[in-house]
Amino acid sequence: MADWGPVVIAVVLFVLLSPGLLFQLPGILKI
């Protein structure tokens, strides 16, 4: 259970960055 630190940090960063990716992907796919 000591390895949850980096996992939580990675998940938080992914959630914070995912909105930008979700907004960029449709634009890339439409092109």
Report the distance separating Cα 28 and Cα 11, nearest Å.
Answer: 24
Indicate yes or no: pTM above 0.75: no
Query: How confident is the model at residue 1, as a pLDDT?
Result: 60
Q: Could you report the per-residue pLDDT of 8-24, keeping only the tens digit for each?
A: 898 888 877 777 666 77
pLDDT band at 31 (very low <50, low <70, confident <90, very high): low
Please identify which residue in the block is written with the tokens 């909105």: 19
* 3-state helix, strand and coil shares in percent for the chain, rounded to the nearest 5: 85, 0, 15
